[in-house]
Amino acid sequence: MFVELHAQSAFSFLEGAEQPEVLVEAAARVGMPALALVDRDGVYGAARFHRAAENAGVRALVGSELTLADGARLPLLVEDLDGYRNLCRLVTRMKLGAAKGAGRIALDDLAPDAGGLVCLTGGRQGPLAAAVARGDRESARRVLDRLAGIFGRDNCFVEVQRHLDRAQERDLQRLVALAREAKLPLLASNQPLYCRPGGRAVADVFTCIREKTELDHAGRLLARNGERDLKGGLEMAQRFRDLPEALESSGELALRLAFTLKNLGYRFPDFPLPPGTPALEHLRDLARQGARTRYGDGSLAARARRQIEHELEIIGRLDLAGYFLIVWDVVEFCRGNDILVQGRGSAANSAVCYALGITAVDPVGMDLLFERFLSEARGEWPDIDLDLPSGDRREAVIQYVYRRYGRLGAGMTANVITYRGRSAAREVGKALGLPGELQDRLAKLVSTWGYQDPADVLTRHLAEAGCDPAQPRIRKFAALWTRLQDLPRHLGQHSGGMVIAAGRLDDVVPLEPATMPGRVVIQWDKDDCAGLGIVKVDLLGLRMMSVLQDSIRLVSEQGGQVDLAHLPPDDPEVYAQLQQADTIGVFQVESRAQMATLPRIHPERFYDLVVQVAIIRPGPIVGDMVHPYIRRRRGRESVTYPHPSLEPILSRTLGVPLFQEQLLRMAMVAAGFSGTEAEELRRAFGFKRSERRMAEIETKLRAGMARQGIEGRAADEIVHAITAFALYGFPECVVGDTTIVDADSGRSVAIEDVVRGRVPVARTLACDRDRHLVPRRILATTASGRRLVYRLRTAGGRELLATPEHPLLTPLGWHALGALRQGEEIAAGPAGAGSAVAWDHITRIEPLDFRETYDLQIEDDPNFVANGLVVHNSHASSFALLAYASAWLKVRHPAAFYAALLNNQPMGFYHAATIVKDAQRHGLVVQPIDVTRSAWDCTLEHQGVRLGLRYVKGLHETSARRIIEARTARPFASVADLVARTRVAADEAQTLAAIGALAPLGGRRRADLWAASVASPGPLFAAAAETAATPPSSPLREMSVDERLAADYAGTGVTLGPHPMALRRRALAEQGVTRAIDLRHRPHDGRVRVAGSVIVRQRPGTAKGFVFLSLEDETGIANVIVTPQLFARHRLVLVTAPLLVVEGILQSQDGVLSVRAQRVAPLRVRGHVIPSHDFG
């Protein structure tokens, strides 16, 4: 029996041409019972290889090919757990002992960690290859004896390969003789790099990339033929019929290799405890102390104590006390080092987390359900994410974890960087020797190919680019570009995930240096870790946390004090600002969609803000729940409840269930479910659902309600609300041949192939909160069982088979498929990432039959594009506390808030130019950049903000620091003195002059430009420059207002002078153009004209979609809606013009104003443009 024990995947970077999952599928197809993945210098692909093999019924054997000091490669296979740990340690030692990507290990260094490992002598790059090729029998024998001495004679196999090459056949005979002389076993392999047609071409492209050459000139660097594929037992038996023992050795050794990743042996570290104190008791002491601090003797204290004891009981039974203590320890480090930290996610439902200070929202006062965070029925680790300020403060926390658990005890999770559109286009173009200009054109074309099926549209797009699709080299480009999509390119690091282990983490997975100094990264990504039960703690950098912390610091430097934990909870001025959608820069509620909803929700207290943050997202809100809530809030619909017992649960949301906690509590109150049973209900409806299981749950619900005396219509309403909500929140309910888009390659893939592991897809397209398509990671896949499905068809020719509860996106929010009607519009995603959704009309909905169903869990935006339609899949978290804190700071400490906001750009939806103008419209004095006063960052000055030198484009921070240091020693006497003493470059000095930053030295912009253009005398003659006579006056006229604006935007990206629209106001007024601030005084359905700088542009992928524009003038922002027909007529203007005049109909609803455009025209640009933040 033959088993391939030397397969290599694309995780042998720039060599292997297949994903591990594809190799497994091929092995299963040829009937191979096991397969060994032996990638170069690591186990990068081992986790996904293991998962795919389990699904396919193939035994996944683990190994790695280590690069030796002389460049040879030694394949090692793992026999047992000790061997796996030794392999991980060897790889770690090799990687951490060298620069990133340059690790090697000496043969003698293998001996201490050789236990449990089996070595092969390898192929043409093995340690025997060079000596055997040159006929140096003695050298080859010495190396072979050394290997046998290190690993043992039973663990050393002479590897033989046959790729139909004469030189290789000669070497094979020499290897056979050498093995028989040394009395060592032979082992046959083919060392496959691919398993599908076209694989050799991909491998050749990788060779060219690796060797920095082109296919035309690669010569003997390329493979001699296409024999490096995965071959089955029959073909190998024919090829090695003269050496049957070599084939038998592979099968026998495969049986010996008992280790799989199922036996990883990972343990979470123990937390250091006071002597004699169990972890749970220590946690109980800390929680009780925290509860006294949080609740005191208030009205919630008794309830909080009971809840904490309940949670501690569950934590104890699940043996998770150590995990909570470790997270608490990280939070305590943050507090002790003045680093703002806040836990988020479902951890906010835990009173223990709140008492420990991990989270900031009171789950008892908010009536949140702990079982949503942690349940005995769930059987998985809790998930606590910590939000930290981005930058140095977050890095300090990461370094603390390294110090706490050791450099070998902690590591960042990896992020596998893959070949995607443009990178693949450039690499393939270079390998094919295409002209540089054509490479550039092809790379730019990729975004127009978007994320469609390349097999369908690639050749058409090539023709549009001026390429001949029939030309052989162009055809080869198209084929190779498609094959490279999603193949691993190199290893990066995850933005915040850290893994820690009891003892040495490199007993579990190899470590290697990260690009960032002081960090190490493990060889697996977060999905690999989750699949193998490795616990990850997310330390996430959030720029708004930096803004809040910087704001607090600036306030304290001015003698004030802000405690985010004790902000006035219902500040009327803060809510007045929110009600007016005056939220530029405010966390989570500054988007156009949020601004359009805020006046309608009209938040008046914190819970309203929780609703506001959640309701605009595609969160756990079923079908028609959003608009009924708004109608009830506006008094247009009466508040009703399915049953009086539900009033305490639903009263805060006006009888409409909007949150998952309400779903679970409805089941507990109406049907008598325990918390664990309610969690089981959610999982039953939302995870691996089946017709039988759903029927059981509904029966249990109805029986429970009957015992409570709830029957008839009330019971039906409750069952419908609970089941629809649960299915909405977690709808694994589309059929197997539903296609999703692989966002990294553009191909269409059947969801069943993704769920079954047959086709690897890392990211797909989802719809963000502003209804734009964005690439999002697939976090998990689910087979949901047989379910009744409906068929939906659209006017655009789309068809979707899904369960009736499955929500689809409509112009009015998410609606269950079964509740939709013929003629209604639903969101379609026909174009690529960045484009807005289009709207398609339903032509038919009908029940079909029972089918196997599937779902994906998507990162950030809980939905995905299926068969071209946007379908929902999960709930979203609330950031209401941060939203309130940022809104409060904007109202109560505007100078500190705006300074911090400007210091943390880029972030959010708006450019710094818009933020500066927003600050000025709020009456804040913003002072210009001044070389005699500005620091590097923006600072507070006389209750206003002084712009920092960081905003000077092209000015290096080191130059800015020299300016600050020099003026501290003594004031600058002149421009020449500044240049001489600070050694700023000529272009830096000229930019400072152009933006007016040198004006405090006595000149004006053009005069300072003239002076800055004089060559510096250097530091040796700086004193002479300081006392020199005044230089001749500038012959240049001073800048006009328009020229100053242009210089401001060119040199800083912002201006403190008049808004560009203010300079045009008189002419615009003569044309009947209304200012943004005056739209509120115009009648609904009246005709208006508006004009402004396009600061946000959101466009659809086809002419059928709507375009949403935000136009800024000197008074504020006007929102414009462009119809598909108008967009089709004026596409170029709408997409490219920085300044627009729009005429249309004013629409006003609940204080939300927008202009439905009927005519658009560009305004002439006078050399100054406010940058636009385009999502299209």
| Span 191-218, average pLDDT | 94
User: Do both 1129 and 1164 map to the same domain?
Assistant: yes
Q: Is the pTM of this model over 0.75?
A: no
- Bridge partners, residue 782, by sequence: 855
Q: Determine, yes or no, domain membership for 896.
A: no
Per the CB < 8 A criterion, the answer to whether 738 and 866 are in contact is yes
Per the CB < 8 A criterion, the answer to whether 387 and 543 are in contact is no
What confidence score (pLDDT) does residue 456 get? 35
| Span 772-781, average pLDDT | 80
Q: Determine, yes or no, domain membership for 270.
A: no
Q: What is the 3-state secondary structure (H, E, C) of 462-491?
A: HHHCCCCCCCHHHHHHHHHHHHHCCCEEEE
Domain stop point among 989, 1017, 1052: 1052
What confidence score (pLDDT) does residue 620 get? 32
pLDDT > 90? residue 465 = no
Report the percent of the chain where pLDDT is more than 90: 51
- Both tokens of 698, joined, read 């509904």
Q: Determine, yes or no, domain membership for 1008.
A: yes
Q: What is the largest CA-CA distance in the chain?
A: 101
Q: Determine, yes or no, domain membership for 1129.
A: yes
Q: Determine, yes or no, domain membership for 103.
A: yes
745 or 949: which leads in pLDDT = 949
- Both tokens of 341, joined, read 């930290």
User: Do both 1102 and 1015 map to the same domain?
Assistant: no
pLDDT > 70? residue 1019 = no
User: Do both 942 and 1089 map to the same domain?
Assistant: no
Report the percent of the chain where pLDDT is more than 70: 87
Confidence label for 199 from pLDDT (cuts 50, 70 and 90)? very high
CB count, 10 Å around CB of 504? 16
pLDDT > 90? residue 4 = yes
User: Do both 867 and 742 map to the same domain?
Assistant: yes
- Give the C-alpha separation, 718 to 421, whole Å: 48
| Total of domains in the chain | 6
Q: Determine, yes or no, domain membership for 464.
A: yes
User: Do both 1102 and 1044 map to the same domain?
Assistant: no
Q: Is the dihedral of CA 1132, 1133, 1134, 1139 positive or negative?
A: positive
What confidence score (pLDDT) does residue 449 get? 30
| Span 170-190, average pLDDT | 96
- Give the C-alpha separation, 64 to 78, whole Å: 9
pLDDT in tens, 788-817: 678 899 998 899 998 766 778 877 556 667
338 or 437: which leads in pLDDT = 338
668 or 951: which leads in pLDDT = 951
Per the CB < 8 A criterion, the answer to whether 1001 and 978 are in contact is yes
Residue 111 sits at the vertex; the CA angle it makes with 105 and 114, to the nearest 5 degrees, is 100
What confidence score (pLDDT) does residue 726 get? 47
- Give the highest mean pLDDT range of 285-289, 612-616, 650-654, 1166-1170: 285-289
User: Do both 736 and 715 map to the same domain?
Assistant: no
Q: What is the 3-state secondary structure (H, E, C) of 525-574?
A: EHHHHHHCCCCEEEEEEEHHHHHHHHHHHHHHHCCCCCCHHHCCCCCHHH
| Span 1142-1149, average pLDDT | 93
Confidence label for 1075 from pLDDT (cuts 50, 70 and 90)? very high
Per the CB < 8 A criterion, the answer to whether 520 and 511 are in contact is yes
DSSP H stretches of helix in 159-271: 166-182, 199-211, 215-218, 233-239, 244-256
- Bridge partners, residue 869, by sequence: 828, 866
Domain that holds residue 448: 421-491
What confidence score (pLDDT) does residue 435 get? 87
Confidence label for 1017 from pLDDT (cuts 50, 70 and 90)? low
Find tokens 């690897």 and name the residue.
Answer: 760
Confidence label for 156 from pLDDT (cuts 50, 70 and 90)? very high
What confidence score (pLDDT) does residue 245 get? 96
Q: Is the dihedral of CA 1170, 1171, 1175, 1176 positive or negative?
A: positive
pLDDT > 50? residue 874 = no
pLDDT in tens, 515-551: 888 889 999 988 888 788 888 888 888 888 899 999 9
What confidence score (pLDDT) does residue 810 get? 76
Q: Would you give the end-to-end CA distance of the chain in angstroms?
A: 56
Q: How far is CA 1024 from CA 1028, 1030, 1163, in A?
A: 6, 12, 51
> What CATH number corresponds to the domain at position 800?
2.170.16.10
| Span 1045-1052, average pLDDT | 92
User: Do both 706 and 774 map to the same domain?
Assistant: no
pLDDT > 70? residue 860 = no
Which of 914, 892, 880, 926 is closest to 585 using CA atoms? 914
| Span 576-590, average pLDDT | 90
pLDDT > 60? residue 1176 = no
Which of 994, 1090, 985, 979 is closest to 1031 using CA atoms? 979
Confidence label for 621 from pLDDT (cuts 50, 70 and 90)? very low
367 three-class SS: coil
pLDDT > 70? residue 691 = no
60 three-class SS: strand
- Give the C-alpha separation, 391 to 339, whole Å: 11
> What CATH number corresponds to the domain at position 246?
3.20.20.140
User: Do both 725 and 690 map to the same domain?
Assistant: yes
Quick one: DSSP state of residue 623?
A: G
| Span 199-224, average pLDDT | 93
Per the CB < 8 A criterion, the answer to whether 782 and 840 are in contact is no
Q: Which of 45-54, 231-240, 403-412 comes out lowest in average pLDDT?
A: 403-412
User: Do both 677 and 716 map to the same domain?
Assistant: yes
952 or 493: which leads in pLDDT = 952
Per the CB < 8 A criterion, the answer to whether 228 and 44 are in contact is no
Strand-strand pairing, 156-160 and 186-188: parallel
- Give the C-alpha separation, 258 to 1158, whole Å: 72
What confidence score (pLDDT) does residue 577 get? 94
Domain stop point among 203, 238, 263: 263
- Both tokens of 639, joined, read 């508040």
767 or 1111: which leads in pLDDT = 1111
- Give the C-alpha separation, 568 to 571, whole Å: 6
pLDDT in tens, 253-279: 999 999 999 988 888 888 889 899 999
- Give the C-alpha separation, 74 to 1049, whole Å: 58
Q: Determine, yes or no, domain membership for 444.
A: yes
Cβ neighbours of residue 226 closer than 8 Å, sequence gap 6 or more: 199, 200
- Give the C-alpha separation, 421 to 478, whole Å: 11
Q: Determine, yes or no, domain membership for 924.
A: no
The amino acid present at 61, given as its one-letter code, is L
Confidence label for 464 from pLDDT (cuts 50, 70 and 90)? low
677 or 125: which leads in pLDDT = 125
What confidence score (pLDDT) does residue 1076 get? 95
User: Do both 690 and 830 map to the same domain?
Assistant: no
User: Do both 676 and 820 map to the same domain?
Assistant: no
What confidence score (pLDDT) does residue 457 get? 42
pLDDT > 70? residue 732 = no
Q: What is the 3-state secondary structure (H, E, C) of 921-978?
A: HCCCCEECCCCCCCCCCCEEECCEEECCHHHCCCCCHHHHHHHHHHHHHCCCCCHHHH
Per the CB < 8 A criterion, the answer to whether 764 and 777 are in contact is no
Which of 1022, 1005, 928, 1020 is closest to 966 using CA atoms? 1022
Confidence label for 776 from pLDDT (cuts 50, 70 and 90)? confident
pLDDT > 80? residue 731 = no
Domain stop point among 686, 711, 730: 730
DSSP H stretches of helix in 227-300: 233-239, 244-256, 279-295
Task: Look over the chain and give the mean of its residue pLDDT values, rounded to a whole number.
Answer: 85
Q: How far is CA 514 from CA 389, 397, 518, 820, in A?
A: 21, 17, 8, 50
What confidence score (pLDDT) does residue 315 get? 92
User: Do both 704 and 788 map to the same domain?
Assistant: no
pLDDT in tens, 67-84: 999 999 999 999 999 999
Cβ neighbours of residue 749 closer than 8 Å, sequence gap 6 or more: 739, 740, 741, 742, 759, 761
pLDDT > 70? residue 472 = yes
- Give the C-alpha separation, 615 to 221, whole Å: 59
What confidence score (pLDDT) does residue 372 get? 66
| CA torsion, ordered 895, 897, 903, 905, to nearest 10 deg | -130
| Span 162-173, average pLDDT | 95
